Structure 1
Amino acid sequence: MQNADTTKYIIHSKIGADGIIERPDIVGAIFGQTEGLLGSDLDLRDLQKTGRIGRIEVVVSAKGGKTKGTILIPSSLDKVETSILAASLETIDRVGPCSAKIEITHIEDVRATKRHQIIERAKFIFTGMFDENLPESQEIADEVRQSVRIEEMQYFGKNKIPCGPAVFDSDAIVVVEGRADVLNLLKYGIKNTICVGGTNVPPEVAELTKKKDTVTAFTDGDRGGELIIKELVQVANIDYIARAPDGKSVEDLVQKEIVRSLRQKVPVEQVIDKYVIKDQGGPAESSGRAPRLPKRKERRTTPAAPVADVKRVPSSQVKRPSREQTRERDPRKKEPREAQKVEKAPVAEKTKKPSSPENKRFKDHASDLIGTFSARFLDSKDNVVNETAVRDLVSTLKDYEDEVKTVVFDGVVTQRILDIAADKGIERLIGAKVGSVTKRPASVKVLTAASL
């Protein structure tokens, strides 16, 4: 019996006989009539004994006194020997008492069939099974990366605040909102990060910011990120503010977006109105009114102002308090009038200063810079010697060695910028507005673009 694994070819043939014959008759005729026909090397009995020819399959049916059927002979011989054996079958002309005819229809190459099956199966494996395995491989890689990032994450203080390994030794740190933000920045190699865990800034983080040279607040591009910055500005020492793109979270940013956001960081002095003054004054008040309120109260206590105000009040208005002297409404009404009169005096003084030709010559520079967030350095002849972005103004002023007499910029004049200008011998600072300045050096004139 031939092993099916060694079969190379299958000889397909059909038989027709004029009479009724059965399978044993056909098999006997094949062995009997081919015996000795092709020599001992191709004798069917010997080939079958050695397993080079398989079991002969015969399927017949009789109808109307005639028999028809098919014959299948498996062969492990080569092409030539198989062809000779197939041709010998067609020499059989009688089966039993009946005349018969055998015709070869085709020879099937079993290996070609197997190759076709292999190709079809390979297609399925390639398109189906590999697609299922790829996500698993990706998950393995992500799991390895995640485990490495978690191992790199450390904890700061008694409250175990998540942070990067470089927070302890680095002079510059990045303050983010949550643990997921720290993990995402660690993924892209930013290791000097620490989180605040929400709007309630831990005291440990606030103290840490005061010990570092540079502190950058990096928050989400939504309302929550703005609230965190407002609290950080109040309780911590923040130098720069960076925001994620609108509607995006820091934990969802890719490397390109993270780098772009950190490069576009803005000095906290330039946005102090947005995060401090506006918050104290309330949403209905403009940012410029809040700092004026204490000044009004101080001037009410001076004796000279009420006297001057009473003289200016018309006589018709003076008679009214005389009718109701016993009531306490009059002092209350006088106070706002006095405050209004007192307000007019400093406004009149401020409007006189811009009329100076010395200040007007900088008006063109201030107009050109509106909306650009840029700064210009002017020499003693009012020539532009350098231009820089407002966010880099502090660092540029510190390192600038050439002569600069005037700095015009589209930003807020802060105490820090004012101190640096005094150290550098700068005579004038012209900004979009003046921030919270408690100490004004006599050597530096502070102007705003609106006053030119």
Structure 2
Amino acid sequence: MDDTAKYLIHASIAADGVVERSDVVGAVFGQTEGLLGDELDLRDLQQSSKVGRIDVQIDSENGQSFGRITIASSLDKVETAILAASLETIDRVGPCQASVEVTNIEDVREAKRRKVIDRAKELLAGSFDESVMDSSKILEEVRESVRIEDITEYEGLPAGPRVADADAIIVVEGRADVLTLLQYGIKNAIAVEGTNVPDPIAHLSEERTVTAFLDGDRGGELILRELSQVGDVDYVVFAPENRSVEDLERHEVMSALRNKTPYGDIVGEGDDSVAPPEVGTSDDSPASHSPVPVAETAAGSTTVETGVAEENGERAEGHGERAEENGERAEEASATESDAAEASPSTLREHVRAVIDAETGTARLLDADYEVLETVPAADAFDAIANAETPPYALVVDGEVSQRILDVAAQRGVEQLVARSTGEAVKTPVDVRVRTAEQFVAAD
């Protein structure tokens, strides 16, 4: 019937009580029987395949039922309109008072024509202008597809195939970063997928040589700070300011990894602040490694020439002045950062507190830097994700997550989802990390 249908009748139904689909179908047949005569009797029209099956979707809430009725018709316009109008005579479903309203009659052929036109435009724009690939492009594309297929999981985290057995690993922020490194032949990367470093990576860092390759933004600094607290970091590489690892070209990635900086060189003892070095800068410059010239005697005493001692004294005074100046700057930066943190949440944990712990009844869409893209009522989370101009990186919702929200989150590329509770989802997307607020706190 769907192949020959000309029109689709769409109607809404509301009942003052709990009713089932079979009750609605029975009411449609029973209360329209004989109303329009033998030629437009609904049962006869179905038997002659002029009308399709009655599709009913009904939900009950707070003792009332609401739903939609859809009927396919191959009758002409006039007959279809009369048949649609007859549905509005239904005033009872089972023992309950009910009302039906026809919302619209859809012309199936017109929709198909629009689809044909849109597809024809796409084909016209893209199919005739493609240039023929040369052999080098063909080889590179095949190699790239093989590398992408090599992505695996290590204890639920996106990772390259060598993470499980390599002596050294590269810790990156997200799945896209792992894919980028795989394209360039680097197979020992693993993603933390957020600013909260998972336990598997913390355990790996105690056994392997760890290079943290992070985005050049505040999120990268936060990940490095937590990684250094829960595990061991040997080397650090940051992408250029306001750029992500996934945006770097092959030569930029290779240059950055060749010039990686020892963690101790950018974070002083007892100092949690980080100063990201630029990609491609070498830490082999004489200024960064030249010690103060001191000679040890056999007896263990230190001998220093007079001229050198004076020079070292001047340098010490200079270092003292710079240390005081740096201390003042660090205090100012700390105060500024503290004020900014109070003004606006900067981590996923802070957003969870602001939305779920505060019982706001809202949903908050976040970008990769945990900046707020949009805040909507929790009931509108599905539409907000589906219609977001910029696909969100994370979603925090003070409510229950349904299968519809999980599906649209996977389609729009949402990587982190934290909710007050999760419903009975039939299928949880692999690419979306889903946690309840309780699980998030426990993992934290």
- TM-score range with shorter-chain normalisation? 0.3 to 0.5
Structure 1 or 2: more helix by fraction: 1
* Pair member with larger Rg: 1
TM-score, length of structure 2 as denominator length: 0.34
